[in-house]
Amino acid sequence: MFPAPHYREQLSLMLSEVLNDLGVNERIVMKRRKIMEMEETMDTIAWMSTGENVTSYILGSQIEGTTTMGLESDIDYVTFDNNVNVIQDLSEWELNKKNYLMVQDENTTPGYCFLHLFRSDEPLPATEIPNNHQRSERRKILCKNTIKNSFMLFGMKQHGPAISKLGQHNARDVDTVLAYPCKSWPQPASAWLERQGTGGWPTNEMRRFASRKKCFVVPVGSKISVYPELEWRISTSLAERYLMSNFNITQIRCYVVLKMILKSFLNPKGVINISSFMIKTVLFHCIENTEPSIWVDNNLLTCLIFCLQELHRCVQNEHCSHFIISENNLMAGQFRFETKNELLGNVSEFIQNDRHFLLRIDTDDLGYRLKIKLNMGQEKVYSSLTSLEISSLELTATLYVNFAFAISRNLYNFLIRLHNTNIENMMQSVVLMTYINTGERHNTKHTEVKFLAPFIYTTYGSALASSSIGKNNEISPEAFNLLSYGVNSDVSSGRLKLASVFCSIGEMEKAEEILRQTEQEYHSHSVIPICSCALGIPETVSGDIARVCNEHNEDCIKHFVAFCVHFIRLEINCVPRELQYELFRSTQDDMIHRGPNDLWMEWAVVDSLPFLYFLQYKIYSHLQRQQEKQQALNQSYKNHIYRQKPYT
């Protein structure tokens, strides 16, 4: 037990050490942010390469770097339809876009608006009522926020303004918010640009920079709205994300512990009484109204208690002002009487017994770890938790494996968008990808393209090869160059496609040489098979892979990841005959019951390693090399020769 003046300072330092061990440190935070920013850009590039006028952003804990493995944060996407233009006055109206005038009057809740539809050919109110719209009492045609339901796919559920998709095995859950971008910074947020708090944070420069970030509206109404289906919430999430990027490590650690408290004590059994966004908003207000000098590691517990006191005040008054749009009360209509009293009691108890409750936090075994730092726990007690122990190696490996999964997911989405396309349309997508890759589209070279482009070029090269094989049983030079570009995309999938093409034209020796190199590459390293399908993401990675991830940047994934191999119908002449049936497996009855996520049923999809042995078996059969043929067969049985893989 520490003397009263001292115990918080010493406990703060120990708590900071534990959080550092859990990856809440500058190095891991920056790695998280970099990887997630690359995912974000890659998503938008995948949309752009198919000609879609869509921009994708990632919001929340993953891209802020304010999470841990135990918090199990999902990944939040906001997707802008850039064909829509939300305006505040008619001077912002744009030709050939779906223009909505933002309406705020006595019927809208502060921080929310109605969307009044205007014509796309001239700046006049629309007269025809489209689907998901209705005419108001004042004769305005308003967009209903239930429009998001038209984007719901099988296996998804509604979660506020978001459409949620549960992650597959060990993959992150995904929340996607379909949003409409605002042409300018919303008027209700203008007062914030001039507001100054005690601590001088954010600075005037930060406020100006934040105001240049895109604002948008999301399809959800206030809980106290008179017209809940017509209201849209005004969001400044991108500005808030920028503010989070200016937090120091103590502020980040404070937020992480607040979320652990939320999970352990304030939102029991997953019931959301207080959202993490409310906690973030409370933290914003606390930082704004305190001197920057208090936000240091040896003062972490004091900062934490100060935030909890502010949270208590907000719950007591049932009022928590949005940080940027202050008229928006985040807690309006949030609590029942019993819930409010229970929350107030829990927060008060934590404030009065902070040390006791910190030791009870089980997220990431924070309480156990803290006990050991305080010499209150036995090492043998903690040793039983070694399977949960988190190191910088494991954290970095997890980040990179998730990034590889995102590459696979984007490739899958790209192929879906090219479903039933022709070779000319595919060529246009490749041309767009090339422009992005060389910087001709945005005057900058996106390094993210180098992770996705090889797979897209390989698919296009295989489609071109299939066309030329059908005509004269040859591979055109352009097709060969595109296929060669993807050879080093990962451990195996690019090489396997090239080998399959050679096999299709009878060039068995060339195919066999590629397969031999692929097998050597596969077995000389620890390799993780990854794709956006039922396999999901492995629970653990080998120590070798973890060390590689820790010592290198994200480029290292191509040396330990083996993506599965996709063939679409345009590639049919490059697909082994036995797998060509997979491209036409559907029946009319099946088509009737098919969902939007079942497009893979018209592809041939196979894991890399079984496909490697399958091709070896075919080639050695053709070359009459019986011993090697038998070895390939034995290996294929050992590795579950061919496994159809359902995308969900």
Tokens of 433: 């990808």
End-to-end CA distance of the chain: 53
The fold of 1-36+247-383 is Poly(a)-polymerase, middle domain (1.10.1410)
Are 464 and 478 contacting, i.e. CB atoms less than 8 angstroms apart?
Answer: yes
Tokens of 22: 């859990």
pLDDT tens-place string over residues 552-584: 889 999 999 999 999 999 999 999 999 998 888
Percent of the chain with pLDDT over 90: 60
Where residue 387 falls among pLDDT bands split at 50, 70, 90?
very low
pLDDT tens-place string over residues 448-463: 678 888 998 899 999 9
Are 282 and 320 contacting, i.e. CB atoms less than 8 angstroms apart?
Answer: yes
Residue type, 515: L
CA-closest candidate to residue 575, choices 615, 610, 613, 607: 615
Pseudo-torsion of CA 105, 110, 112, 114, nearest 10°? -10
Q: Match 């918090």 to its residue by tokens.
A: 71
CA distance 340 to 315: 7
pLDDT tens-place string over residues 348-368: 999 999 999 999 999 999 999
Where residue 526 falls among pLDDT bands split at 50, 70, 90?
confident
Strands 75-81 and 84-87, bridge-based pairing: unpaired
CA-closest candidate to residue 542, choices 393, 646, 417: 393
CA-closest candidate to residue 370, choices 257, 509, 476, 235: 257
Q: Lowest-pLDDT range, 248-252, 518-522, 557-561, 591-595? A: 591-595
Q: Give ∠ CA 52-44-413 in degrees, rounded to 5.
A: 70
CA distance 251 to 287: 8
Inform me whether the pLDDT recorded for 172 exceeds 80: no
Where residue 639 falls among pLDDT bands split at 50, 70, 90?
low
Tokens of 390: 């988190």
- Stretch 310-325: mean pLDDT: 97
CA distance 127 to 109: 26
Which residues are paired to 85 by β-bridges?
Answer: 99
Which residues are paired to 76 by β-bridges?
Answer: 59, 175
CA dist 250 to 89, 179, 304, 328, Å?
42, 33, 10, 28
Q: Give ∠ CA 171-271-153 in degrees, rounded to 5.
A: 45
Helix (H) or strand (E) holding 102: strand 98-103
Helix (H) or strand (E) holding 158: strand 156-159
Are 118 and 100 contacting, i.e. CB atoms less than 8 angstroms apart?
Answer: yes
- Which residues touch 128 (CB under 8 Å, ≥6 apart)? 141
Domain map (residue ranges) of the chain: 1-36+247-383, 83-244, 392-575
Residue type, 230: L
pLDDT tens-place string over residues 121-136: 999 999 999 999 999 9
**How does the average pLDDT of the chain come out, rounded?**
86
Are 52 and 20 contacting, i.e. CB atoms less than 8 angstroms apart?
Answer: no
CA distance 315 to 397: 40
- Stretch 62-80: mean pLDDT: 91
Which residue would you say has higher pLDDT here, 599 or 611?
Answer: 611
pLDDT the model gives residue 384: 37
Tokens of 156: 């998804």
CA-closest candidate to residue 86, choices 49, 48, 112: 112
Inform me whether the pLDDT recorded for 532 exceeds 50: yes
Q: Match 């998804």 to its residue by tokens.
A: 156
CA dist 194 to 206, 230, 288, Å?
12, 31, 13
Which of 3-7, 46-50, 434-438 tops mean pLDDT? 46-50
Coil vs helix vs strand at 360: coil
